[in-house]
Amino acid sequence: MEQNIFKTKRAFLVPFIAIVALLCLLLILSLFKGQSVEKIVLAISFFGTLLVGIEASKREIIVTKDGLKIKKFFRTKDFIWPEITHLGVVDLRNKTYFLLTTTKGFYFFSNMFENHALLIRSIVDKLGDEKVEIEVKNYLDHPSERRSLIVICWVIVLIISAFIILKLFSA
């Protein structure tokens, strides 16, 4: 059975995993020379970021000829094409969210998936014109990429690196 698998963009996952690793290093350093409030804040930040990183790395959408499968951490939703009743889009500059209405409920995903335009095109081709908003087709003519979140992640990597350097060289 032919299937297309769409995962979270690597351009986002790489700096995000670097953030998790650097937060872990900073937490370890603070355990040796840090205040108790600092340890608590770093532990909460690290574990929260770790959970988000695991969720982002496990998230995928699989398109087959029979239907659609949305996989998240510990959850999988399967839909056959007749169960999907509507596909809509909300485009806020470079942040784009797609709303999938099904007989089982509402599901949404963003443009942070690799080849998200191909993903949307695959869904549109399977659903037909009557279930797809005209805005979705307009979006496919000019898809947007969400680069700001990736840039922010790299900036956070630099900031955490600076904190690590300060922690290492502080007296």
Of these ranges, 16-25, 90-99, 143-152, the one predicted with the greatest mean pLDDT is 16-25
Q: Give the global pTM.
A: 0.84
Of these ranges, 18-22, 88-92, 104-108, 137-141, the one predicted with the greatest mean pLDDT is 18-22
Q: Which residue has the higher pLDDT, 75 or 15?
A: 15
pLDDT at 1: 58
Q: What is the pLDDT of residues 36-93, one digit of tens each?
A: 999 999 999 999 999 999 999 999 999 998 889 999 888 899 989 999 999 999 988 7
Of 94, 139, 107, 134, which is closest to residue 120 (Cα–Cα)?
A: 139
Q: Which residues contact 133 (CB under 8 A, 6 or more apart)?
A: 86, 87, 88, 89
Instruction: Using alpha carbons, list the distances in angstroms from residue 110 to 10, 129, 146, 149.
Output: 15, 21, 9, 12
Q: What is the mean pLDDT of residues 144-169?
A: 92
State which fold the 3-169 domain adopts: PH-domain like (2.30.29)
Please give the Cα distance from 158 to 53 (Å, whole number): 18
pLDDT at 93: 76
Please report, for the chain, the start and end positions of each structural domain, with discontinuous segments joined by +: 3-169
| CB neighbourhood size of 53 (10 A) | 17
Q: What is the mean pLDDT of residues 16-45?
A: 94
Of these ranges, 117-126, 142-151, 157-166, the one predicted with the greatest mean pLDDT is 157-166
pLDDT at 9: 92
Instruction: Using alpha carbons, list the distances in angstroms from residue 61 to 8, 76, 85, 124, 134.
Output: 9, 10, 18, 14, 22
Average pLDDT across the chain, whole number: 90
